[in-house]
Structure 1
Amino acid sequence: MPRFAANLSMMYTEHPFLDRFAAASADGFDAVEYLFPYEYDAAELRRRLDGHGLRQVLFNAPPGAWDSGERGIAALPGREAETRSGIEQALEYAAALDCPRVHVMAGLVPQGVPSAERARYRDTYVANLARAAERAAAAGVDILIEPINGRDMPGYFLTRQAEAHAVVREVGAPNLKVQLDLYHCQIVEGDLTTTLRRDLPTGRVGHLQIAGVPDRHEPDGGELNIRHLFGFIDELGFDGWIGCEYRPRAGTSEGLGWRHDYRGVQA
């Protein structure tokens, strides 16, 4: 049966961030994810989780200068020390929030970078992820990497599922996994059923996310057949979480009817 986590960075924006935990719980969610916790004291976030019976299942490591347009630094040569420091900060929060997964963003590659230079980005990425996975393993945390479509995030280093799985295989750490966002994957590659059939049984997928394509609203609007996809994910035996990383079209609670569109999903 699918297990859904509310993404509090995109959902419940009708409320101040710290009030979104209560709103998600009131709508029947058992778990939450969001982009970044670092603006808030970890103890306060933990109180919100515990007070509303929620589990924290995912957040991102520090991404560099987000407000200035950076979208991660793990693949950027020369930013290795900052990457290591960010991983340490993320693991401190993960311990406080009992969160088993941290997504490490790769970063943006300047347009027109030659292939030889791009290889330096990849080497940096692999080395940083290997160090991050080793450090996270000691804390019982999985490190995740996510292919992101170039329409929403032009220049992002990692865009395709095969590239992500190749990196995971090369690093060879059992706690380095792929975050498969079906929204991004549909935009870049499509053929979601084949992707799920190929990749879920490998054990290299640590988290799923969902949103409607092309507008990133509720998942039952647009191109995706969520009844088919959720049923197929069940058939494949995936026991992880599906993050609801979408922007509600007109009110978060009002748009949750899609959860009734699959047998066994509780509203």
Structure 2
Amino acid sequence: MPGSRRRSRPWPRSAEEPNCVVSFTAPTRGPGTGPRTLWEQESTPAVPGALPPRCQASLPTDARSLIHLPRVEVWEVELVQDEPLLRRLRTLLPQSDLARADRFKRSGAAERWIVARAALRILLCTRLECIPEDVVIEVAEHGKPYLPGSSLQFNVSHSGDRALIVLSDQLEVGVDIERPGRNAGAVGRALSEAERAGGDDLLQLWCRKEAWAKALGGGLGWAPERFDTTRVEGYALTDLTLGEGYRGALAVEGASADHAFCKLSL
């Protein structure tokens, strides 16, 4: 991007460290050091002994493809942050995002939305090699955000105090997270006969539907009853293991939903 500040992707200090966690400072025009990103890769190495699991996520895309690592990353973000960090994160957002945050009325909703939006920009800028403020996000006809001129795909979902962000090289993706205790009564009316017969948790079924619909680009505004998760075509669905009662699901274009699960520490 013209005028952007380029940076290299972080590398592990040593490939021999068994619990390598790579940290870096998100580039920013403002004062201070900015947020810190910790790469915590939990999956088994695709090539045994090639790299410790937690170091694999630090590799650039080309290097990861050589050892057959997943092209999809799912990032979990804690949305409750202290005020000093919130002030720094606000500086990463364009005025349009800040104006949208100011329209939230429920206590804490604006702050959580700011954290989620800033986290998305931090993750995108590591792939696009620019600063977070320079990331250009546009919205497609049916509401799905995208990066003009880039093959990088992404999707975001937040509920309660957590958010999930999925990044993918070229493949369409969708993700959903639901907080514990959410009323799932209305979900039953959107289930197919096969989904009802399966007996799965209602919120988990809703997450699968939402993730699939978001990957397609329309969200559940396209009628959730049309998304029968027992008969998925063109996409792979997988449930995400989250703590503290949260439910999550991921949809990936193609036959596999293989992914790396990471945590973003701000």
- Rg larger in structure: 2
Q: Does TM, scored on the shorter chain, surpass 0.5?
A: no
Q: TM-score, normalised by structure 1?
A: 0.31
Structure (1 or 2) with the greater helix fraction:
1
Q: TM-score, normalised by structure 2?
A: 0.31
Structure (1 or 2) with the greater strand fraction:
2
